[in-house]
Amino acid sequence: MKLLTVTPLGRNRDKSRLWIETRRLEALGFPPGTPFTVEARSEELILRPSILAENHVSSRRTATGLRPIIDVANQAYLGPLGEFPELKVTGWHQRLSVTPTRRAAAILRSRHLTPPFRVLEIFAGGGTLTAAVAGDDAYTVSAGIEIDPRFADIWQAAHPEAALIQADIRAVETSDLPEFDVLIGGIPCTSHSTLGRAKKSLAGKPELGDTGDLFLPVIGIVRQRMPAAILFENVPSFGTSLAGQLLTTHLERLGYHVFTTVLKPNEEWNEIEDRKRWILVATLDRPFELQVPGIPNTIPVSAFLDPPDPERDAADARRIERTIAGLRAHNARHAALGNGFGFTVLDGAETRLPVIPRSYHKINTGPFVQTRHGLRMLRLPELERIRGNEARTTDYTTGAELLGQGVLTGPFRQILAQLRL
């Protein structure tokens, strides 16, 4: 028989106390009344039966007989384990080994971490989230996980010294991951966004979408590695979904302090784009409290646009004029039916932009820029300025998708600065 149990390290009059109570102790050679020795090693106790010893197995009388109890309160033995909140007891015949659990070791390790903190980015995309730690000496990017080869190449070019795992996260073994202290990522939202739920008929059950279950392997990585801090982001509806609630409650049950909120970039973070995001910050050592600047944006969109260029503006407007005409006709038909379809046209004075989607390059939605020659799309450098991050590609489609699925770097740079352990 083998014994494996996890028990909190108890306290008695502010002193550490090890308490093991199970009938299986008798089968392992520790029946009630048995003397036993305690050998203290580095972060491990070894207990063995002995003919002559000062410690004895006690017992509790139950309806089915005596239940053995091992009670160790000697601080000379427990001193090396005193800082750990819980212990793992592994038993074989006439031998018990008491060590900190992975979770307890992770909690203690987080208290003694010093910068730079190693960062693993999951669902890394082109690295718009790791860009938020660029130039911050408190962080170093250790590794990333990304399945799309286009984005994986861009991410690796930005972090040549880091390990890039190009795979579906469901197939990644945690043993393949390098050491990391901070886990960050945006779990794909295509099954949880309002548009995604409608397109895929997932109302009430987004977890069944093709990306809806991706929170499960994420939980597996956290449980195996227990990073000191976690930062996740997603669409606001993710926070109230079953996936979001399970993620939150499971992290709490693992021992994390969990903070969640919805960012309002345009109202509170001085950002031009009104891209609201649900965020989760989990920490092992102490609770995290977000300091929100509370600064509404007053900078007009014209500050993010290229200067007027008659020749270039005319060429850009001609390129999409037939598509714009089709969109106008489409919207007019729906307006006649009482539907509210439309798109945003920018004149440069706006201080708020609607969310620019990943599919922006398909020209099926706005916002579009008004010029003397007609409407044009936002150019890649303009999208970069709006998002506060470089796409690091000259391909418009790839750049628009990368930025469209990424984050507004500014708020997350401030959040990660506040998160420094």
First to last CA, the chain: 43
Q: Count CA atoms within 13 Å of residue 175 on its CB side.
A: 0
Q: State the pLDDT at residue 191.
A: 56
pLDDT tens digits, one per residue of 372-401: 999 999 999 999 999 999 999 999 999 999
Q: State the pLDDT at residue 337.
A: 72
Q: How confident is the model at residue 208 (pLDDT cuts 50, 70, 90)?
A: low
Tokens 């398909």 — which residue? Answer: 362
Residue type, 188: P
Q: State the pLDDT at residue 378.
A: 97
User: How do 15-21 and 10-12 pair as beta strands?
Assistant: antiparallel
The angle subtended at Cα 253 by Cα 249 and Cα 256, nearest 5°, is: 90
Q: State the pLDDT at residue 197.
A: 47
d(CA 216, CA 195): 22
d(CA 264, CA 407): 13
pLDDT tens digits, one per residue of 230-243: 999 999 999 998 88
Q: What percent of the chain has pLDDT over 90?
A: 70
Looking at per-residue pLDDT, the higher value among 300 and 211 belongs to 300
Rounded to an integer, the average pLDDT of 143-164 is: 95
Looking at per-residue pLDDT, the higher value among 58 and 111 belongs to 58
Q: State the pLDDT at residue 202.
A: 46
Q: State the pLDDT at residue 328.
A: 86
Q: What percent of the chain has pLDDT over 70?
A: 93
Q: How confident is the model at residue 361 (pLDDT cuts 50, 70, 90)?
A: very high
pLDDT tens digits, one per residue of 319-335: 999 999 888 888 778 77
Question: b/e per residue, 136-171, with b = 16+ CB within 10 A?
Answer: eeebbbbbbbbbbebbbbbbbebbeebbbbbeebee
pLDDT at 203 over 70: no
pLDDT tens digits, one per residue of 170-191: 999 999 999 999 999 999 866 5
pLDDT tens digits, one per residue of 257-302: 999 999 999 999 999 999 999 999 999 988 999 999 999 999 999 9
Q: State the pLDDT at residue 195.
A: 52
Average pLDDT score, the chain:
90
Looking at per-residue pLDDT, the higher value among 339 and 138 belongs to 138
Q: State the pLDDT at residue 127.
A: 93
pLDDT at 210 over 80: no
Q: State the pLDDT at residue 190.
A: 61
Looking at per-residue pLDDT, the higher value among 9 and 335 belongs to 9
CA 279 remoteness from chain centre: 8
pLDDT at 220 over 70: yes
pLDDT tens digits, one per residue of 73-95: 999 889 888 888 889 999 999 99
Rounded to an integer, the average pLDDT of 211-218 is: 86
d(CA 21, CA 301): 67
Could you give all domains of the chain from N- to C-terminal order, each with its CATH number?
Answer: 3-100 (no CATH), 109-297+408-419 (3.40.50.150), 301-405 (3.90.120.10)
Q: Long-range CB contacts (< 8 A, 24+ apart) of 166-173? A: 169/122, 169/123, 169/145, 169/214, 169/217, 169/218, 169/221, 170/214, 170/217, 172/145, 172/217, 172/221
Looking at per-residue pLDDT, the higher value among 29 and 102 belongs to 29
Token pair, residue 271, equals 């950002």
CA 14 remoteness from chain centre: 36
